[in-house]
């Protein structure tokens, strides 16, 4: 499966919606995702352990810290995500545009071994992402890139969201290491997540996922792309 598009789906047991600023939100440090809300659509990125060289990471964190400190946020204090969320408006969008885009552009440079170029290995990840679709979560879109994964999904509650993200990473890491004859960490522990706040943002992120292989100049067969139609 290089590209698959499901039929139109509805799952009434999952309260699919955009982020509700007035609703209850859980913020968790050092787990994926960091911000969660029942039924809210979340954009999540995981990356392979070797996907960003140390110098690239150091430069990114330096730029992130400069931006946050300039806005009165200490990035090394617990709960900084929550303080960033409260900024809102143009300033929060500026953070996403500057810092978020640089992070993902660096991933698209395809550093590291990029073992997920192999169709048999990317298939392990794609099948895992769809295994409980419609039962534990609603999968909207995903792309499996050579060294990272982007997905848009909604979950029935916070616990299900946290457990499923950890389950995906643990299961796929075990299977991929077995196929590669290796042991140890495959995925980085942390990553990027964002609760989708508007229909315009949702459409932007769906287009972003769909266009990711072209941006990275990947030939057919070196990625897995999935999208579902929604009512």
Quote the CA–CA distance of 230 and 221 in Å, as a whole number: 26
- Specify whether 134 is located in the same domain as 212: yes
Say if residue 47 is in the same domain as residue 57: no
Domain end call among 111, 129, 145: 111
What CATH number corresponds to the domain at position 36? 3.30.70.1290
Which domain does 86 fall in, by range? 53-111
| Helical spans, DSSP H, in the chain | 54-70, 80-87, 89-95, 101-108, 119-131, 158-180, 199-215
137-185: per-residue pLDDT in tens?
999 999 999 999 999 998 877 677 778 888 999 999 999 999 999 999 9
Q: Are residues 35 and 100 in the same domain?
A: no
Domain shared by 91 and 16, yes or no: no
pTM exceeding 0.85: no
Could you tell me if 191 and 84 lie in one domain? no
The pLDDT tens digits for 175-195 are 999 999 999 999 987 666 667
Residues 126, 105 share a domain: no
Are residues 21 and 68 part of one domain? no
The answer to whether residues 68 and 87 belong to one domain is yes
Q: What is the DSSP string of 9-51?
A: B--TTS--B---TTS--EE-TTSS-SEE-TTB-EEEEEEBTTS
Based on the fold, state whether residues 79 and 94 are members of the same structural domain.
yes
């Amino acid at each position: 499966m290089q590209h698959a598009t499901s039929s139109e789906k509805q799952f009434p047991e999952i309260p699919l919606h955009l982020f509700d600023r007035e609703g209850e939100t859980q913020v968790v440090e050092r787990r994926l995702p960091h911000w969660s809300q029942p039924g809210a659509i979340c954009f999540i990125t995981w990356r392979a352990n070797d996907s960003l060289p140390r110098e690239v990471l150091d430069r990114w964190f330096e730029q992130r810290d400069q931006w946050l400190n300039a806005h009165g946020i200490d990035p090394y204090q617990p709960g900084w995500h929550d303080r960033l969320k409260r900024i809102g408006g143009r300033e929060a969008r500026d953070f996403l545009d500057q810092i978020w885009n640089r992070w993902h552009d660096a991933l698209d440079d395809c550093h590291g071994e990029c073992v997920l170029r192999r169709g048999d290995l990317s298939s392990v990840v794609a099948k895992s992402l769809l295994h409980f679709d419609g039962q534990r979560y609603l999968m909207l879109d995903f792309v499996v890139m050579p060294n990272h994964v982007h997905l848009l999904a909604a979950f029935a509650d916070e616990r299900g969201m946290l457990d499923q993200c950890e389950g995906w990473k643990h299961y796929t890491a075990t299977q991929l290491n077995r196929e590669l004859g290796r042991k140890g960490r495959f995925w980085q522990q942390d990553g990027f997540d964002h609760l989708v706040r508007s229909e315009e943002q949702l459409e932007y992120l769906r287009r972003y996922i769909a266009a990711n292989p072209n941006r990275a100049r990947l030939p057919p067969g070196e990625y897995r792309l999935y999208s579902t139609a929604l009512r």
